[in-house]
Copies of this chain bind each other. A is one copy, B any other.
Amino acid sequence: MASFTSKDVARMAGVSQSTVSYVMTGKRSISEKTRQKVLAAMEQLTYEPHAGARSLAGRRTQVIGLVVPFDAEGKAATLLPFIETIAHCARERDYEVLLVTADQGSAGLRRLAGRALCDAIVLMDILEHDERVPVAAELGVPVVLVGVPADPAGLHCVDLDFEEAARLAVDELAGTHHDEIIVVNWRAGVSERRANFAVRFLRSAHRQAEARGIPLTVVEPADGRYEPPVDRILAGHAGGRLGLVVPNGAMVVPLMHALRRHDVVPGVHISVIGVSPDREAGEYTNVSEEPRDVSRTAMDTLFRLLDPVPGPEIPAIQLLAPRLTRRGTVMR
């Protein structure tokens, strides 16, 4: 599988190597005639530019670094669409995606930038106090955070508006005369790490419940267990109008099944509102969390950082508005 170089293309097209380069980059005008000759030669030879040479000479790798969490459970459902969307956005502009796992910490970031492995970085699953953020800010490479840390250090952030999501859920239950709200939290692991979406969601839920005058408590799955904490939910449930808010999208369906097994039917004896992508919320009232929208916004931001356009400033923090869709699991 002998590979051809731009020199070969140049020779075949009867032009200079630089002309070939300019045809590819479009950085200077080329007569249509020679353009065609060059393109024909490239076609003929099935020429592909050598990525390493290009990155060395042009200081552009055409690669986006993507730092993903793999530890986070329950993320499976949202992580894949995230990655998928980012891959597609990259491809649209002829960029590649280099995958780095979060367990490598800031070392991974330093490698990405130091070795000139990519032109820009998307950092997912940001913690409230994330050691990687200050490092990322010093990298000298555009970085977009998916999530909002306490101190973004000047970096751009994109995320779902979890505070608004909590408000929407609480308001819905308040508006339908519930007299108690329980937030079914992520497992201890997630909130202890203070994954910042969890923090923001809970804080906002508490605040809004107080504003609406409804008692709100939080329950978590038992240590190290994935099962929904149904017993503790039903324990104090005297028969009033109880509403459950479930920010962990992966837990909604298992929870509802568990409730039904106790003959407690969502929408009849109890209310359930989940936070999850619309397409997964077939049978329950949810607040939408759309990973695809978030990643697309992140990538748009990244590319605008890479090739600044004279348009309006990019907001430092972009929170995507969630939407509540009623599907009958809230008692009316």
What is the interface of chain A, defined by CB distance below 8 A to chain B?
1, 3, 46-56, 61, 63, 66, 70, 76-77, 79-80, 83-84, 87-88, 91, 96-101, 104, 110-111, 113-117, 138-141, 257, 260-261
Q: Is the CB of B53 within 8 A of A1?
A: no
CA distance A58 to B48 in the complex (A): 18
CA distance A124 to B261 in the complex (A): 39
Q: Is the CB of B261 within 8 A of A52?
A: no
Q: Is the CB of A76 within 8 A of B80?
A: yes
Q: Which one of A49, A76, A260 has the highest number of Cβ atoms from chain B below 10 Å of its Cβ?
A: A76
Residues of B contacting A55 in the complex (Cβ-Cβ under 8 angstroms): 51-52
CA distance A114 to B54 in the complex (A): 13
CA distance A48 to B117 in the complex (A): 11
Q: Is the CB of A104 within 8 A of B80?
A: no
Closest 10 pairs between A and B when the two form their complex, measured CB to CB: A1-B140, A48-B114, A52-B55, A52-B56, A70-B84, A52-B52, A51-B115, A48-B115, A97-B99, A87-B101
Q: Is the CB of B3 within 8 A of A49?
A: no
CB distance from A240 to the nearest CB of B (A): 27
CB distance from A75 to the nearest CB of B (A): 8
Contact of A3 with B51 at beta-carbon distance under 8 Å, contacts A87-B101, A98-B97, A101-B91 already known: no
CB distance from A70 to the nearest CB of B (A): 4
CA distance A50 to B52 in the complex (A): 9
CB distance from A66 to the nearest CB of B (A): 7
Given contacts A53-B56, A70-B87, 8 further A-B contacts (CB under 8 A): A46-B110, A48-B114, A51-B117, A52-B53, A76-B76, A79-B80, A80-B80, A91-B104
CA distance A47 to B110 in the complex (A): 10
Residues of B contacting A100 in the complex (Cβ-Cβ under 8 angstroms): 87, 96-97
CA distance A116 to B96 in the complex (A): 12
Q: Is the CB of B115 within 8 A of A50?
A: yes
CB distance from A327 to the nearest CB of B (A): 16
CA distance A272 to B83 in the complex (A): 34
CB distance from A265 to the nearest CB of B (A): 12
29 of the cross-chain contacts (CB-CB < 8 Å) are A1-B140, A3-B116, A46-B110, A46-B114, A47-B114, A48-B110, A49-B115, A50-B56, A50-B116, A51-B52, A51-B55, A51-B61, A52-B52, A52-B54, A52-B56, A66-B99, A70-B83, A76-B76, A80-B80, A83-B99, A87-B99, A87-B100, A96-B98, A96-B99, A96-B100, A96-B117, A98-B98, A99-B99, A257-B257
Residues of B contacting A99 in the complex (Cβ-Cβ under 8 angstroms): 66, 83, 87, 96-99
CB distance from A112 to the nearest CB of B (A): 9
CB distance from A117 to the nearest CB of B (A): 5
Q: Is the CB of B52 within 8 A of A61?
A: yes
List the B residue with the shortest CB-CB distance to A4.
B114
Residues of B contacting A46 in the complex (Cβ-Cβ under 8 angstroms): 110, 114
CA distance A307 to B147 in the complex (A): 41
Q: Is the CB of A48 within 8 A of B111?
A: yes
Q: Is the CB of B113 within 8 A of A52?
A: no
List the B residue with the shortest CB-CB distance to A258.
B257
